Amino acid sequence: MKSHFSLLVRFFLAWLLTFLVGKLAFFVHNGWPGFADALQIYWHGLPLDIAVAAYLTAPLWLVLTCATLLGKPRFTPGGRTAYRVYSATVGILILATLIVDTILYEKWGFKLDAVCLSYLDNPSGITDSLGWGYFLLAVAGFLLLIWGYVWVLWRIGPRPDGHSTRRSCFPTSHPVQRTLHSLGLLLVGALLFLGIRGGVGRSTANVGMVYYSTDQYHNHAAVNPIFSFFYSLLKERDFSQQARYFSPDEANQVFASLNYNTKSELTPADSLLNTRRPNILLILMESCGGRVVGCTEGNTKVTPHLDSLAREGVFFSHCYANSFRTDRGTICTFSGYPSFPDASVMKMPAKSRVLPSIAGALRGVGYDTEFLYGGDKNFTNMNSYFLATGYNRVLGDVDFPVSMRKTSPWGVCDHLMFDQLRQNIDRQPKNKPWFKTLLTLSSHEPWTVPYKRLDDPMLNAFAYLDASLGKFMDQLRHSPEWKNTLVIILPDHGVSWPADINEFDTRKYHIPLIWTGGAVRNAREVARLCNQTDLAATLLGQLGIDHTRFKFSRDVMSQTYTYPCAIHTWPEGYTFIDSTGTSIYELATHRVSRLTPDPKGERVHKVKAFMQKAYDHMNALK
């Protein structure tokens, strides 16, 4: 019986050793990072290496467990053959993947993922990309290595006499021992499951969980290429046939009528700030849509501090969220990128990592950048997105004291995170401007907060967020940093309150967008219709920073902003709002809900053209 456990351990460790050697080969071919950094890469990459090793060991565990439960734990000749076929097949595929990843990285600059499948339709593209020398070298190296590798896998397997290479597979008929053996195998299965899942946290194993450095080479080296490939295969889709409403020329023509002009042409009256290089704090509030905020939808009892900030600063009173979930709304806010009904760009590292971002643009002109979140920073690949797009540091629950981490069902409760943010600002060096971002989390189901003011649990959670924000802003207002700081406040998406409100009611995604702080020139209301995606271009335009890469973000204060409109998407449809009214297009039924007359269907044509162009752009990201 011990041989079963021994075989599983040896098989599992063989894969871990393979990935360790694979990383070493990756370093040799693509650049040695230094001994200390290599150790960091190995350590941070270990969770994905364990996940893949557990995946590969799970079929063997399943066979051994079933055989034991059936009272036939000894390997039969057929079982030995099956082991050899499985180990050889998987070994060849794993070794091939490691070799291809090592060689392609030098040419492509990113880890192996589903993009490589696009070359199968045109195999010559592989040799064109690599060159024949690399290609032949890879084939020769693969053939040389595979013989020895498969031999090792066979050596650690069961011997022809039914024994393992080291211990007898010596079943006992005693029921107690058989039961203990079965329980032991079930325990091993539980450990394999934890390895596959990536631990016991809220987030499951994903590529972003191994990102730890501002040096993308270190992050890429830590990623297991087998995991990267299959993860992207599951997440990536071919969107080239999505939203095919018009010919390319017609789609371009209709889209052009929306005038998504990325230029900023500002008059003195358009200037919102009294400095071109303020410190910038962006607070992204979880779910705090206009339905619970007095300054947008009139619910004055919940957010008195937020309402006061709107009166004192610049209030964009007709801003609409692009999407309905945090992972989508985050991309919309920081990259000025559209949302999609059936895709989360953040969950596609190959695409999200190449997006422009506010943090990247600011870091490019000398800003220090930092992101804080009280929850699991690996959730929905946030960590990889933020590190890849310009943040110097991404802090999550594990980066804060243990005593703070479980003060909310989702991690660190908001008032403690605002305290932490205050401390980080105080420690910030004074010799360069900074950009800090806080994503709150307490205003989320199950609405459990350390605060009691309102009877409704949901509204009370938003009241807690508001109270925490108000206390922080009072402290900041009386600090030396206030004079040169711009604070931007908005939610990631809207909220369903009352519970029966849905996406067919535009009030759900009407959101507050507030600019305040000592860097704001004057209090004013900006009543122009806009989306949260427009924040990027509007902010960068005020700072005099180029934002031409933000193809779907508009400077709301610019003289070029001639066609105000807003778009919202969710799994069942699109919403388009302009000065003529609102139209909602249902994807399943192709029915159009016209909340205001649109006899020619122009609004629907425009949102269809926009989504066709957005899908085209997203499909081309790589």
The answer to which of 150-154, 300-304, 547-551 has the lowest mean pLDDT is 150-154
Percent helix, strand, coil in the chain (nearest 5)? 50, 10, 35
Cα angle 46-48-49, degrees, rounded to a multiple of 5: 60
Give yes or no for a contact between 478 and 258, defined as CB atoms under 8 angstroms apart. Answer: no
Distance CA 338, CA 413 (A): 30
Place of tokens 């297009």: 585
pLDDT at position 148 is 64
For residue range 93-122, list pLDDT tens digits in order: 888 888 888 887 876 677 777 656 655 544
- All residues at 6 or more sequence positions from 213 whose CB lies less than 8 Å from its CB, including other chains: 40, 219, 387
Q: Quickly list H helices, 212-315.
A: 216-222, 225-235, 248-256, 294-297, 304-312
pLDDT at position 360 is 98
595 within a domain of the structure (yes/no): no
Q: For residue 340, give Cα distances in angstroms to 352, 426, 434.
A: 13, 39, 31
254 within a domain of the structure (yes/no): no
Are both 268 and 405 inside the same structural domain? yes
Instruction: Count the residues in the chain.
Output: 622
**Amino acid symbol at 236:** E
Q: Identify the band that residue 172 occupies on the pLDDT scale cut at 50, 70 and 90.
A: very low
Are both 186 and 283 inside the same structural domain? no
Distance CA 509, CA 498 (A): 13
Mean pLDDT to the nearest integer, 416-426: 98
Strands of the sheet containing 573-578, edge to edge, are 565-570, 573-578, 581-586, 592-594
DSSP secondary structure code for residue 411 in this structure: B
Q: Render the burial of 165-181: b for 16+ CB within 10 Å, e for the rest.
A: eeeebebeeeeeebeeb
Final residue of a structural domain among 529, 562, 595: 562
Are both 270 and 412 inside the same structural domain? yes
Are both 336 and 440 inside the same structural domain? yes
Q: Where residue 367 sits, what CATH number does that domain have?
A: 3.40.720.10
For residue range 491-513, list pLDDT tens digits in order: 999 998 887 788 889 999 999 99
Share of the chain above pLDDT 90, in %: 61
Are both 522 and 556 inside the same structural domain? yes
For residue range 10-38, list pLDDT tens digits in order: 889 988 988 998 999 999 989 999 999 99
Are both 208 and 311 inside the same structural domain? no
Are both 267 and 228 inside the same structural domain? no
pLDDT at position 90 is 87
**Which has more pLDDT, 364 or 175?**
364
Strand partners, 434: 368
Q: Of 51, 389, 373, 44, give the one whose Cα is nearest residue 212.
A: 44
Strand partners, 411: 408
Position 170 pLDDT exceeds 60: no
Position 147 pLDDT exceeds 70: no
598 within a domain of the structure (yes/no): no
Mean pLDDT to the nearest integer, 66-83: 72
For residue range 535-551, list pLDDT tens digits in order: 999 999 999 999 999 99
Strand partners, 530: 319
For residue range 609-618, list pLDDT tens digits in order: 999 999 999 9
Are both 58 and 160 inside the same structural domain? yes
Place of tokens 């896998």: 153
Mean pLDDT to the nearest integer, 409-429: 96
Q: Identify the band that residue 233 occupies on the pLDDT scale cut at 50, 70 and 90.
A: confident
Two tokens at 229?
A: 């490939």
Q: For residue 105, give Cα distances in angstroms to 37, 97, 98, 220.
A: 19, 12, 11, 9
pLDDT at position 169 is 42
- Cβ burial of 387 (10 Å; 0-12, 13-18, 19+) is buried
Helices (H) and strands (E) in the chain, counts: 19, 13
Give yes or no for a contact between 365 and 545, defined as CB atoms under 8 angstroms apart. Answer: yes
For residue range 449-493, list pLDDT tens digits in order: 999 999 999 999 999 999 999 999 999 999 999 999 999 999 999
Position 345 pLDDT exceeds 60: yes
380 within a domain of the structure (yes/no): yes
**Amino acid symbol at 426:** D
Mean pLDDT to the nearest integer, 203-225: 87
Q: Of 139, 140, 2, 151, give the one whose Cα is nearest residue 64.
A: 2
Are both 204 and 305 inside the same structural domain? no
241 within a domain of the structure (yes/no): no
Per the structure, the complete domain to which residue 175 belongs is given by 2-235
State how many domains the chain has.
Answer: 2
Cβ count near 81 (within 10 Å): 11
Position 2 pLDDT exceeds 60: no
Strand partners, 580: none
Are both 300 and 445 inside the same structural domain? yes
The answer to which of 11-25, 159-173, 210-224, 393-407 has the lowest mean pLDDT is 159-173
- All residues at 6 or more sequence positions from 184 whose CB lies less than 8 Å from its CB, including other chains: 5
On average, the pLDDT of the chain sits at 88
Position 9 pLDDT exceeds 50: yes
Position 191 pLDDT exceeds 70: yes
Q: For residue 462, give Cα distances in angstroms to 55, 206, 450, 500.
A: 42, 31, 12, 18
Q: For residue 482, give Cα distances in angstroms to 102, 125, 279, 328, 372.
A: 49, 55, 9, 31, 20
Are both 307 and 177 inside the same structural domain? no
Mean pLDDT to the nearest integer, 175-201: 80
User: What's CA 172's distance to the chain center, in Å?
Assistant: 50
250 within a domain of the structure (yes/no): no
Are both 278 and 378 inside the same structural domain? yes
- SS3 sequence of 43-62: HHHHHHHHHHHHHHHHHHHH
Determine how β-strand 510-516 pairs with β-strand 530-531: unpaired
Position 278 pLDDT exceeds 50: yes
613 within a domain of the structure (yes/no): no
Q: Identify the band that residue 331 occupies on the pLDDT scale cut at 50, 70 and 90.
A: very high
597 within a domain of the structure (yes/no): no
Q: Identify the band that residue 250 occupies on the pLDDT scale cut at 50, 70 and 90.
A: very high
Two tokens at 156?
A: 């650690």
The top-scoring range by mean pLDDT among 26-30, 298-302, 596-600 is 26-30
**Amino acid symbol at 286:** E
Final residue of a structural domain among 527, 545, 562: 562
Distance CA 53, CA 13 (A): 8
**Amino acid symbol at 291:** R
Q: Identify the band that residue 185 occupies on the pLDDT scale cut at 50, 70 and 90.
A: confident
Final residue of a structural domain among 509, 537, 562: 562
Distance CA 399, CA 397 (A): 5
